[in-house]
């Protein structure tokens, strides 16, 4: 079963450059995730859904993306009940976001000599993450990295380009995902 993600905020601007529209609102980062008949609120990137994603633009990339393995923090989350392969997040887990890094948009072990995100965070947002296969094969430097399905902030504030749901909704969604599940993000 695929997940369908759509923007819930204003959509009267071009999806590729919402910041340039004079009527842009701050709620373009609010979305809906549909899985079967159930609809969940979700947070999107601060720039909403974009058709031309670039590194650092804060946009969630429109497209049809295969989901990856489920990464989780074993100190904060029990091994999720699911059919996805699971990987444990450790204090040394990171993800490269540096376009000059040969490991750009790939998991890395910290310390790492290039710019990266730490997957071991104090804000709980990365207690569970599922990478989307955005910019995976081939990897294009500068096209965007670290696009995950993860846990939302309590107020569903914007992400840096990911799709995020509440802890309770993630618990409900995880058992329904399979290695064949795709996340379809509609601009």
Q: How far is CA 151 from CA 84, 105, 174, in A?
A: 17, 20, 12
- Is 150 one of the annotated active-site residues of the chain? yes
132 touches 17 (CB < 8 A):
no
Catalytic pick from 13, 42, 150, 167?
A: 150
- Domains of the chain, CATH where assigned: 3-186 (2.40.440)
Q: How far is CA 154 from CA 54, 83, 161, 169, 179, in A?
A: 27, 27, 17, 12, 28
- Is 162 one of the annotated active-site residues of the chain? yes
Q: For each of the chain's 187 residues, which pLDDT tens digit applies? A: 999 999 986 543 344 334 433 334 558 999 999 999 999 999 999 999 999 999 999 999 999 999 999 999 999 988 777 899 999 999 999 999 999 999 999 999 999 999 999 999 999 999 999 999 999 999 999 999 999 999 999 999 999 999 999 999 999 999 999 999 999 999 9
What predicted TM-score, i.e. pTM, was given to this entire model?
0.91
């Amino acid at each position: 079963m695929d997940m369908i993600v759509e923007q819930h905020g204003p959509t009267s601007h071009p999806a590729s450059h919402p910041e340039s529209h004079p009527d842009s609102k701050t709620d373009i980062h609010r979305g809906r995730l549909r899985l079967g008949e159930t609809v969940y609120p979700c947070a999107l990137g601060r720039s909403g859904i974009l058709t031309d994603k670039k590194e650092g633009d804060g946009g969630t990339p429109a497209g049809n993306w295969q989901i990856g393995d489920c990464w989780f923090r074993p100190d904060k989350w029990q091994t999720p009940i699911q059919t996805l392969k699971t990987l444990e997040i450790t204090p040394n887990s990171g993800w490269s976001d540096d376009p000059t890094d040969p490991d750009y948009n790939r998991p890395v072990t910290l310390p790492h000599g290039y710019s990266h995100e730490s997957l071991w965070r104090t804000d709980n947002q990365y207690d569970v993450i599922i990478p989307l296969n955005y910019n995976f094969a081939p990897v294009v430097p500068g096209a965007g990295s670290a696009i995950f399905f993860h846990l939302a902030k309590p107020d569903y504030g914007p992400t840096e380009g990911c799709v995020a749901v509440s802890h309770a909704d993630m618990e409900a969604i995880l058992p329904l995902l399979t290695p064949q599940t795709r996340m379809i993000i509609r601009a």
